[in-house]
Amino acid sequence: MSTATTSLECKYPDAWTGKQKKYWVEIQLLDELENPIPNMPYVAENAATRSQCASYTGKSDASGIIRIEGLHPLELILHIEANPLAEEMEKRALRRIGRAEDDSTVKPKATVEGYEYRYLKIGQLCNALPEMMPEWKDKENPPKYHFPDTRFAGQTIKNLNCRYVFEVCPFRAWSLILHHQTDYSIVNAYNFGIMANLSYSREVQIIHYFERECVDLSAAPKLSDANDYYAVVKDVPFSQRYINPRFSTTAGNIIEHDTQLFYISNDEHVIVAWRGTQEPRDWLTDITFSPQECPSYLAPTGKIHKGFLDAFECAKDKSPSSFDDIKSFISQKKQLFLCGHSLGGALALIYAAELKSIQPLLYTYGMPRVFTADATLQLTDVTHYRHVNDSDTVTSVPPDVNLYNWFYEVYGPIGSVLGTTWSIAELFSQKITGITMGDCFWHHGDIVLFYFTTQVVESLQCEGSMSAPHCRKIKYRLPKKTKYYLIPSLAEDKNISAKIQDIQFIRSLTPDSMKTFFPKNTNPDLDSVLTNPLNHSMPSAYLPYINNQLVELVCPDAPWKRKQSNATFEKQMSDSGIPDNEQERNRLFAALQRLVVETLKVTEQMPEGGPAFERFRKTKQEYDE
């Protein structure tokens, strides 16, 4: 046990004359997992030591205990040396359960023993800002969570002849749980959905998210005050946190595109999130869909949407240092993740095509078509999951037909107008005749479909006499409908460990039947007749549905609305009169829905996965879809 005393011969002021009484105090330093924190150099002072007497110094013992003896009955101020404390607490993990003081397992045990208890951050104990924070730009404003007291006043100890238990919060930060793999992960989908939504924010909000939310351990980082989407995260040493979020925009020149993105890195990975359509100039980018030859650095053959390519190259021209930064991060063998919504998804795909040799992982939401078929076929090595919210209008443009004609090349700038006019005429012609020729626009990647599913019943309605009946077939929709989270790639996985009846049914389907329901490189046929632009919003359409699916998987026993909707719909499937082809389709959809739980396993199997889901359960919320 570490014990410190001062000399009984020390000369005190007149008010403290006489032999010093033998008061004592013990302070035990524990982390959130109840482990002791040994070998911490400390300095303790009171009014007597400040009157030119020696301070109490020493180190905590193997049990994390500091014992100071020979005290006058005066308030004692304790400091722990900053650098050793910060270095040690970087190594300590957080408790598995919630982040509130009431979630502590140390507190109740200390209370039962009659000890004084405090939950402390390192900034409430140390004597200065640790030297290990050179990257922190604003030294006058260190992260408030870890350093709530920038005066470094230390801990005041008033009661003597007793033990204090100080539970010290680890010096950690949050990192998004991400999986760089070819299989789909719903945790990836959720966390990248948050990043895609964050890309629409102002620079100050993006910086706040990574420099404040991601170092505030009171809860997982939250998207905004308006949208309480708490990311699925793990804790990492503070020195391995996200550093220097960078914001890049081409705004400022009325002629140019208004392209915006942000990127961030830590010791493990790099995230680049591209913003979707927001400004008026973005709409001009979207509708400039004339196909032009792909630059060779993207694909050796095929064509690309002109507006998207121009916006991408504008971003690179206006901010070359940003793209140099990203290449520098990549050269450090960090994993690269790309994401974006709408136009942002299109730009992220173009960037993935440029960096295809390093195999970036791409998740997009509500993105339009970018490349024609010839170019898309050159990008098979890019792992890309493309989320489509049912009848989202933007995912249907440009149409999957050949829109190229010679006007685009012959007449210069005016050729875009003439070419577009001719393309629209060709579009109507191809839709009427059903004949498509040439290099058509195709979607890239594996689809993840949020499908609003209905069921039709057929019956015969007969009139006239029994000898001469006149019958006709009547079709009508049943009242119950639901929305499924469909991941067709799960049906291709040979190592799925889900319910055997689902696997047997899915594998009984032929590849041709799967292609009928989920054709490659385009969108499936929908139960709705028209597309719907209201299905396109990231914060009100995509992110709520992904959140609710994750909530259902993490908390399977709760009576969630979407779970009840699925169950009611599947009960209705037993009604007679449903056509065989629709019965087979909806059975497939229901089976695929049950397989979504498989996308959670990669996170569950991580050492950090269990605690991450415990925190997510604490903050879970079901949103209106």
Residue 257: name the closest of 212, 308, 223 by CA: 308
Q: Is the pLDDT of residue 19 over 90?
A: no
Domain boundaries, the chain: 2-170, 176-404+439-619
Q: pLDDT tier at 15 (50, 70, 90 boundaries)?
A: very low
Q: Is the pLDDT of residue 411 over 50?
A: no
CATH superfamily of 2-170: Immunoglobulins (2.60.40.10)
**What is the rounded CA–CA span in Å between residue 599 and residue 584?**
24
Calculate mean pLDDT across residues 373-392.
94
For the segment(s) 176-404+439-619, the CATH number from 3.40.50.1100, 3.40.640.10, 3.90.1200.10, 3.40.50.1820 is 3.40.50.1820
**What is the rounded CA–CA span in Å between residue 286 and residue 268?**
34
CA dist 421 → 352, 414, 598 (Å): 31, 11, 47
CB-CB contact of 263 with 270 (8 Å): yes
Q: Among the ranges 91-95, 432-436, 478-482, 525-529, which has the highest mean pLDDT value?
A: 91-95
CA of residue 430 relative to chain centroid, distance: 41
As separate numbers, helices (DSSP H) first and strands (DSSP E) second, the chain gives 18, 25
Q: Is the pLDDT of residue 279 over 80?
A: no
Q: pLDDT tier at 253 (50, 70, 90 boundaries)?
A: low
Specify burial of residue 303 (Cβ count, 10 A radius: 0-12, 13-18, 19+). Answer: buried
Q: pLDDT tier at 31 (50, 70, 90 boundaries)?
A: very high
Q: pLDDT tier at 376 (50, 70, 90 boundaries)?
A: very high
Q: Is the pLDDT of residue 141 over 90?
A: no
Q: Among the ranges 198-202, 566-570, 573-577, which has the highest mean pLDDT value?
A: 198-202
Query: What pLDDT is stored for residue 200 in this prediction?
Result: 93
Q: Is the pLDDT of residue 132 over 90?
A: no
Query: What pLDDT is stored for residue 409 in this prediction?
Result: 54
Give pTM, 2 decimals. 0.89
Q: Is the pLDDT of residue 4 over 80?
A: no
